Chain A
Amino acid sequence: KNEVEQSPQNLTAQEGEFITINCSYSVGISALHWLQQHPGGGIVSLFMLSSGKKKHGRLIATINIQEKHSSLHITASHPRDSAVYICAVHPWGTQGGSEKLVFGKGTKLTVNP
């Protein structure tokens, strides 16, 4: 079983819809990242969070440390939001922290006009 699981694997939406992508993890972590990968392959960091909620434009990321779960929400989705969204965590190592990331397999989002 992967340490980081994302759902759904694929998601198709109509422009304007509210979108939720979920991430569950099985290890203790110091932080969680949400990343966006466009078809060309480049990756952009959207959020890094360790508690609560962060908002940037139409994107909102939440995390529940006790439940080991995070969600990425996109409000008023647009075709340009079409990309692969990747969840990654910093697991705690035996030394009490780690700079290494463990990645989920990604959620492919397609937003149709």
Chain B
Amino acid sequence: DGGITQSPKYLFRKEGQNVTLSCEQNLNHDAMYWYRQDPGQGLRLIYYSQIVNDFQKGDIAEGYSVSREKKESFPLTVTSAQKNPTAFYLCASSIFRGEQFFGPGTRLTVL
């Protein structure tokens, strides 16, 4: 089945730790995106990548890092520099300027 997978579904992090969220797609999409969702707010763009080995900062990139070594994969690392990382994280992919397909999300909680 074609689609986007994210893992893990739930993730707990101690303060000061870096954690990496996985996002994989087999839709052959060039573009991939990471969003953060907080209660009562719209989704906000963290990073996006239009092509392998290239990525751009979104609106709230501070404290996050990404890589795009393979077309299928776009992992997001939440670093200790992110002061308030507890949130729901969504990955998406699309053809260029096309409809975005979303993964099931990862809920990150800082203990």
User: Residues on A close to B: CB < 8 A?
Assistant: 2, 4, 30-31, 33, 35, 40-45, 48, 86, 88, 90, 97, 99-106
Assess whether B97 is interfacial by the CB under 8 Å rule.
yes
Residues from chain A with a CB closer than 8 A to the CB of B103 are: 42
> Contact between A33 and B100 (Cβ–Cβ < 8 Å)?
yes
Please name all residues of chain B whose beta carbon is closer than 8 Å to the beta carbon of A42 when the two chains form the complex. 102-105
The size bracket of the interface on B is 20 to 34
Q: A2-B42, A4-B42, A30-B97 are in contact. Are A43 and B48 (CB under 8 A)?
A: no
The smallest C-beta distance from A111 to any residue of chain B, in angstroms, reads: 22
Is B99 an interface residue, CB under 8 A from the partner?
Answer: yes
Contact for A45 among B43, B99, B104, CB less than 8 A? B99
User: Whose C-beta in chain B lies nearest to the C-beta of A35?
Assistant: B102
Contact status A90-B102, CB under 8 Å:
no
**Which residues in B have their C-beta under 8 angstroms from that of A106?**
42
- Which residue in B40, B88, B99, B102 is a CB contact (below 8 Å) of A105? B40
State whether A100 touches B48 (Cβ < 8 A).
yes
How far does the Cβ of B30 sit from chain A's closest Cβ, in whole Å? 10
Contact of B13 with A by CB under 8 A: no
Residues of A within 8 A of B63 (CB): none
Give A45 to B100 CA distance when docked, in angstroms: 7
Q: Does B25 touch A at the CB level, under 8 Å? A: no
Can you pick out 20 interface pairs between chain A and chain B where the beta carbons lie within 8 Å of each other?
A4-B42, A30-B97, A40-B104, A41-B88, A41-B90, A42-B102, A42-B103, A43-B90, A43-B102, A44-B102, A45-B99, A45-B100, A86-B42, A99-B48, A99-B50, A99-B94, A100-B48, A103-B42, A104-B42, A106-B42
